[in-house]
Amino acid sequence: MTVLIPSRAESRPGEDEKEASLSTSVLAPTPTPAGLRPGAFGHATHLACRECGATQELGPFYACGECFGPLEIGYEFPAVTREQIEAGPANIWRYQPLLPVPTDITTSPNMEPGFTRLLRADNLGRELGLRNLWVKDDSGNPTHSFKDRVVAVALSAARELGMKVFACPSTGNLANAVAAAGARAGMKTVVFIPHDLEVPKVIASAVYTDSLVAVRGNYDDVNRLASEIAGEEEGWAFVNVNVRPYYAEGSKTLAYEIAEQLGWRLPQQVVVPVASGAQLTKIDKGFTELARLGLVEESPYKVFGAQAEGCSPVAQAFKDGHDVVRPVKPDTIAKSLAIGNPADGPYVLDVVRRTGGAVESVTDDEVRDGIRLLARTEGVFAETAGGVTVATLKKLAESGRLDPDAETVVLNTGDGLKTLDAVADLVGPAATIDPTYAAFTGTGLA
Ligand SMILES: Cc1ncc(COP(=O)(O)O)c(C=O)c1O
Ligand SMILES: [Zn+2]
């Protein structure tokens, strides 16, 4: 049996390190690793292994030198106030002190994503019996998915590390975001996608770059190819491969925004789509940081993960009570979530189990219904990933696993205009008529 992470340490030396790196005191300037300009990564101080806790200096590294475990960013945060954040720009850079980006980040061309709508969802809530429901609608980002957040942070890292090419393997949305951000930054971009993606996602990448590469294979094949190229080519920043520790931090801004938009409060339940699982784990990290920094009151929250049944390796591991995630071959209309071998799968299991949440999966028909349900109740057109998440919300509510009175946030991470085919056969004109009043009254719609 192939597993993602061969062995998982019972004790996590990294946890103490994480605690220490969240100190809120005002500290001496961050030491600058060799070759980097001072403050290149803001208040980030080091990379820490998520498996064994070993630390190493900031740089273009993503695997632990000791055990090959994945690395994540450690910080020495300064004291940060709500007022300081509120005075910042209406995009993710208002959280600059909490991200691995320099203080002058707003001066370099980037897509300025974030600060998307948090919508009260009373209609959807009524439908599902949830009395305190919100939709965080990330389709409003510049390339219409949450990926603009992670790419903006990765772009900063690529620049600071002196990388020459901005690249990614992608299930579609990331390709759009990388191609656009690279164009805006004046960087060469090379973007790799599976050959069978939805046409709008292919076009919405190719319009920004001449270097879109369609690979005959699924996302996991594309990802393996990208890792190989990253190992061979000098100066290539594959956002979700060799600059992944920086990239992933961008998803923390979803947590920061949700809390700030709720009036500096953590929600009690949050439902998040899972592909690689990075977004879910970073939303948890974001909530934890806000509480430890005193920006919100510490309060319990449950994190729920959503997958499509045709690619549900994490939901399966959760149901089976396993710590490891067995890779699958994806077969679902939710192509943006079609990662059969999710890098952060085991960490998703950690988060949902620690917080008392769950990972659930839904069929493609439920995904289509989820898209229509959100559209017809709240006027939000989600792509298939949002359909997965709303359908999962429904399933969790119906099975009593969500507290109907708890403040609940469901994420829509992408725009329905990118996956029109998912619902094309299910919706359309109620009637096609001649341009006469009589013909109209004949439809019964008056
Ligand atoms: C629209 C959308 N939502 C959610 C995800 C899941 O993100 P992650 O890989 O961080 O789990 C993706 C990933 O491509 C996506 O495109
Ligand atoms: Zn390690």
For the stretch 109-140, pLDDT in tens is 999 999 999 999 999 999 999 999 999 999 99
CA distances from 306 to 70, 156, 170, 322 (A): 23, 30, 19, 17
Identify the residue with better confidence: 370 or 27. Answer: 370
Among all chains, which residue has been given the structure tokens 């359309």? 428
| Ligand 1 atom having least distance to the Cα of 383 | 1
Helix ranges, 58-172 (H): 82-86, 122-128, 147-160
What CA–CA distance (Å, rounded) separates 219 from 125? 34
* Closest protein CA for atom 14 of ligand 1: 336
HEC-encoded secondary structure of 230-251: HHHCCCEEECCCCCHHHHHHCC
Name the residue of 72, 146, 218, 388 whose CB sits within 8 Å of the most ligand 1 atoms, as the mutation to test its pocket. 146
Rounded distance from Cα 9 to ligand 2 centre (Å): 10
pLDDT, tens digit (0-9, with 9 covering 90-100), for 351-363? 999 999 999 999 9
CB distance 70 to ligand 1 below 6 Å: no
Q: Is the Cβ atom of 271 under 6 angstroms away from ligand 1?
A: no
pTM of the predicted structure, to 2 decimals:
0.93
**Cα–Cα distance, 146 to 138 (Å, whole number):** 5
Q: Tell me what pLDDT residue 35 has.
A: 81
- In this prediction, what percent of the chain has a pLDDT beyond 70? 92
Ligand 1 centroid to residue 248 C-alpha, Å: 11
Distance 211 CA to ligand 2 centre (A): 35
CA 394 – CA 401 distance, rounded (Å) = 10
CB 125 near ligand 1, within 6 Å: no
Ligand 1 atom at shortest distance from the alpha carbon of 275: 11
Q: pLDDT band at 20, cuts 50/70/90?
A: very low
In percent, how much of the chain has pLDDT > 90?
92
Atom of ligand 1 nearest to the CA of 348: 11
pLDDT in tens, 187-219: 999 999 999 999 999 999 999 999 999 999 999
Q: What tokens appear for 153 in the block?
A: 């942070």
Burial bucket for residue 390 (CB in 10 Å: 0-12, 13-18, 19+): buried
283 C-alpha vs ligand 1 centroid, how far in Å?
13
Task: Give pLDDT, residue 32.
Answer: 54
Asked if residue 5 has pLDDT above 70, the reply is no
Question: What mean pLDDT is reported for the chain?
Answer: 93
Q: Rounded to the nearest whole angstrom, what is the distance from the C-alpha of residue 253 to the centroid of ligand 2?
A: 26
Which ligand 1 atom is at minimum distance from the Cα of 282?
10
pLDDT in tens, 402-424: 999 999 999 999 999 999 999 99
What is residue 34's predicted lDDT score, i.e. its pLDDT?
65
Ramachandran sector of residue 68 (left: φ over 0; alpha: ψ -120 to 50; beta: rest): left
What's the pLDDT score for residue 22?
A: 40
**Residue 70 corresponds to which amino acid?**
P
Q: Is the pLDDT of residue 53 over 60?
A: yes
In this prediction, residue 85 has a pLDDT band, given cuts at 50, 70 and 90, of very high
Question: Ligand 1 pocket, 80 CB below 6 A?
Answer: no
Q: What integer pLDDT is reported at residue 318 of this predicted model?
A: 98
* 278-331 pLDDT, tens digit each: 999 999 999 999 999 999 999 999 999 999 999 999 999 999 999 999 999 999
Question: Which residue CA neighbors atom 15 of ligand 1 most closely?
Answer: 336
The pLDDT tens digits of the residues spanning 318-333 come to: 999 999 999 999 999 9
pLDDT on residue 401: 98
Residue range 217-260, pLDDT digits in tens: 999 999 999 999 999 999 999 999 999 999 999 999 999 999 99
Nearest atom within ligand 1 for CA of residue 170: 14
From the CB of 336, is ligand 1 less than 6 Å away?
yes
- The whole-number pLDDT of residue 393 equals 99
Q: What's the whole-number mean pLDDT along residues 156-184?
A: 97
Q: Residue 158 in contact with residue 166, Cβ under 8 Å?
A: yes
* 145 bridge partner residues: 414
Q: How far is the CA of 16 from the centre of ligand 2 (A)?
A: 14
Reply yes or no on whether the pLDDT at 167 is more than 50: yes
Evaluate whether 389 touches 306 at the Cβ level (below 8 Å). Answer: yes
CA of 280 from ligand 1 middle (Å) equals 9
